[in-house]
Amino acid sequence: MIGIVDYGMGNLYSVTKGLERIGHTPFLSEDPDELAKADRLLLPGVGSFRDGMAELKKRGLDEFLKKWAAEGRPLLGICLGMQLLFEASEENGPTEGLGLLPGEAVRFSGKTADGRRYKVPHMGWNMLEFHQPDHPILKDVPSGHVYFVHSYVVKVKEADVLIASSDYEELVPAVVGRGSVWGTQFHPEKSSVAGMRMLLNFANAKGVI
């Protein structure tokens, strides 16, 4: 059973419909006691990092998610939800994250080393490059494009966290993870076959990852 963490900032409809398309019926809740009944949790997110952490803390979900991850229970963050898994973000001033993965979210500079400007936010379809092709989340995932919408990019501190990347004038960690904690910067539920296969891999992962 998949629980979707509802902290007031998620793309709940599209994530729910995506899981339903792969044969799963998730439930939504902001109550840690209810979410604890799930086999795995999905943390969606749209909006600012600071607001997201404030909403998680207001509901007691920050400590709940840390405990959940410490027990080795499967957790998938999507978009802002992925960034919240990390230690911090500079968005709207330095803000501490959940600290489940090592790294920090910073804003795209909008300017290359040779002075060319590029558009921020990063919005649209980009190709994935697999760094850990044998990782469970990439099982049977075809090479292809996935859909991004974000202005901040995570700088991972340890290479083993990076599962797949994309390029948008710099390296973009697109799929990250360690142990039972996984994340996608893009929206898998909007990313055709590749994204839907990743959702299925997460949904079907057996027991403690």
Instruction: Kindly list the catalytic residues.
Output: 79, 187, 189
Q: Find all residues with CB under 8 Å of 110, minimum gap 6, and list them.
A: 117, 118, 119, 120
Task: Report yes or no: 107 and 122 within 8 Å, Cβ to Cβ.
Answer: no
CA distance 19 to 16: 5
Please, are residues 205 and 197 in contact by the beta-carbon 8 Å criterion?
A: no
Residue type, 161: V
